Amino acid sequence: MQQHTETEENYLKAIYHLSNVTISSVNTSSIATSMSTTSASVTDMLKKLADKELINYEKYKGVKITRKGEKVALNIIRKHRLWEVFLTKVLKFEWDEVHTMAEELEHVSSDELIKRLEAYLDFPKFDPHGDPIPDQTGKLEINDQMSLSSGDAGVKYTITGVGEHSSAFLKHLAKYGLKPGITVSIAEIMEFDKSMLVKVNKEKFHLSLEVSKNILVKKYGII
């Protein structure tokens, strides 16, 4: 098994994630944005990743991740999410505190370590943000969740995840006590701006479309 640098791993992860939001190939500038670096640096790295056959790269035509590259990316994501479960379930961190630590832990190389951690955590299928955890072969269960913004008034939903992972957004949700596992019922949907009034344990509050769009849910009672 080939070894990759931490930087290469981070680029691959970013490209993998972008591939899931983009129909065609991933372009240089979107990678630059998501990595907080310049397009020039990205181009340099793309050549290196292409040499290692982790991506298919054609000058000026963007990038497609290869099966090989995808496997590497999924392994990093697997480690990231298992560590996030460990940090919340075992060390009792809040779900909005674990991402930064997992960004470091995901690069610890031992596959045996992660195998044992997975077993110790009793083979969790989803991380604290509702994202699926790939198994050793890279397969991941699809969490068939919907956005709260497409829910109906008068119906109860259980939060299963989020569509946006920024610390700012997670802390915003935490302020209302909103996190995976919590039950929310939609009291009213405003025609004008698609904002909604929701009820959580007797408390009522207002959610903008920007927020409700990024809260992922299932109908209450459906596991």
Partner DNA sequence: TTTTATTTTTAGATTTGTCTAAAATAATAT
Partner DNA sequence: ATATTATTTTAGACAAATCTAAAAATAAAA
Identify which range of 2-10, 97-105, 110-118, 201-209 contacts DNA by CB under 7 A.
2-10
Q: Is 167 in the site for its own copies (CB under 8 A)?
A: no
DSSP 100-146: HHHHHHTT---HHHHHHHHHHTT--SB-TTSPBPP-TTS-------E
Q: Is 90 in the site for its own copies (CB under 8 A)?
A: yes
Partner in contact with 67, chosen from its own copies, DNA, Mn ion, none, beta carbon below 5 to 8 Å by kind? none
Q: Is 92 in the site for its own copies (CB under 8 A)?
A: yes
Q: At which residue do the structure tokens 């791993």 appear? A: 9
SS3 of residue 81 by DSSP = helix
**Among 61, 120, 166, 210, contact with its own copies (rule: CB under 8 A):** 120
SS3 of residue 27 by DSSP = coil
Identify which range of 15-23, 35-43, 48-56, 91-99 contacts Mn ion by CB under 5 A.
91-99
Give the CA distances from residue 142 to residues 52, 122, 125, 134, 210, in Å, rounded to whole numbers and listed in that order. Answer: 30, 19, 10, 10, 24
CB 198 within 8 A of CB 185: yes
Give the span between the Cα atoms of 114 and 158, in whole angstroms: 30
Total residues at interface with DNA (CB under 7 A): 23
Q: Is 22 in the site for DNA (CB under 7 A)?
A: no
List residues near its own copies by CB under 8 A. Answer: 87, 90-93, 100-101, 104-105, 107-110, 113, 116-117, 120
Instruction: Using CB under 7 A, list all residues that contact DNA.
Output: 5, 7-8, 27-29, 37-48, 57, 59-62
